[in-house]
């Protein structure tokens, strides 16, 4: 039997089916194409956001770190200056204390020296005692009795005595002072620390005793003109 056909309907041929499939494919491609740019832009926007945030946060952290380092440098410099000032003050104080201590020691030494040096009377007794005090420090021998004996024989205790008639006077170098010392002898045997003056009683005694010690062993051994 042959198939009957319903009026108003026609059968889809193979060509028709292929045509419909092609249209559907093109439509899907168009839709996909129209959506693709939006998705890519959105992806770029999403990817760009974390990078920008990271850069912003990193820059802030760097500035904060730099600020902290600068503050630490300022504090370190301030501490160094303070330490240097403390050391300078301590050194100055130590130097001042050392100078004050030295001054006190010098003053004390001078005071002790003054205390050890006796005060001698300004007369024959005092002159002989002062001469003996100096002679002891210089290692020059002699006694009070030996000096006094020779002083009385030579000048009678007159420190301004001068001999203008003996051979020394004739030669232009008269004997002078308590122990009648001529100038060349006084100059040669003068003891440092005493006056360089033939008429000075202490200087005259010490120089004469120094000469007597060199020539006779001691002024105690002199019993006549020497």
Give the per-residue pLDDT at 29.
45
Cα 64 versus chain centre, distance: 43
Please indicate, yes or no, if residue 11 is contained in any of the structural domains. no
Please indicate, yes or no, if residue 45 is contained in any of the structural domains. no
Give the per-residue pLDDT at 74.
83
Please indicate, yes or no, if residue 206 is contained in any of the structural domains. yes
Other CB atoms within 10 Å distance of the CB of residue 182 = 20
144-150: Cβ within 8 A, 24+ apart: 145/220, 146/218, 146/219, 146/220, 146/221, 146/222, 147/179, 147/205, 147/209, 147/219, 148/124, 150/179, 150/208, 150/219, 150/222
Give the per-residue pLDDT at 15.
46
Q: Residue 142 is part of which domain span?
A: 124-221
Please indicate, yes or no, if residue 201 is contained in any of the structural domains. yes
Give the per-residue pLDDT at 225.
80
Please indicate, yes or no, if residue 6 is contained in any of the structural domains. no
Please indicate, yes or no, if residue 155 is contained in any of the structural domains. yes
Residue stretches of the chain with pLDDT short of 70: 1-60, 62-63, 65, 67, 113-115
- Name beta bridge partners: 162: 176
Tokens of 10: 């026609």
* 74 φ/ψ angles, rounded to the nearest 5 degrees: -60, -45
Please indicate, yes or no, if residue 23 is contained in any of the structural domains. no
Tell the residue number behind the tokens 């559907």, with chain if given.
Answer: 24
Three-state SS at 172: coil
Give the per-residue pLDDT at 115.
62
Number of domain units in the chain: 1
Kindly state the DSSP code that residue 188 receives in the 8-state scheme: H
Please indicate, yes or no, if residue 80 is contained in any of the structural domains. no
């Amino acid at each position: 039997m042959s198939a009957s056909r319903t009026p108003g309907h026609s059968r889809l041929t193979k060509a028709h089916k292929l045509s419909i499939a092609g249209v559907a494919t093109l439509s899907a491609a168009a839709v996909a194409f129209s959506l693709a740019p939006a998705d890519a832009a959105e992806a770029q926007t999403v990817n760009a956001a974390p990078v920008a945030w990271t850069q912003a946060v990193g820059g802030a952290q760097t500035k904060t770190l730099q600020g902290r380092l600068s503050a630490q440098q300022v504090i370190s410099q301030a501490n160094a200056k303070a330490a240097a000032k403390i050391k300078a003050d301590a050194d100055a104080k130590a130097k001042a204390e050392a100078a004050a201590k030295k001054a006190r020691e010098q003053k004390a030494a001078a005071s002790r020296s003054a205390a050890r040096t006796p005060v001698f009377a300004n007369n024959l007794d005092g002159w002989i005692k002062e001469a003996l005090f100096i002679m002891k420090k210089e290692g020059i021998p002699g006694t009070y009795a030996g000096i006094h004996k020779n002083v009385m024989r030579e000048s009678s205790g007159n420190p301004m005595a001068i001999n203008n008639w003996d051979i020394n006077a004739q030669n232009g170098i008269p004997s002078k002072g308590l122990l009648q010392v001529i100038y060349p002898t006084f100059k040669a045997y003068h003891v440092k620390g005493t006056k360089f003056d033939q008429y000075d009683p202490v200087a005259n005694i010490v120089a004469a005793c120094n000469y007597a010690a060199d020539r006779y062993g001691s002024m105690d051994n002199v019993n006549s003109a020497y």
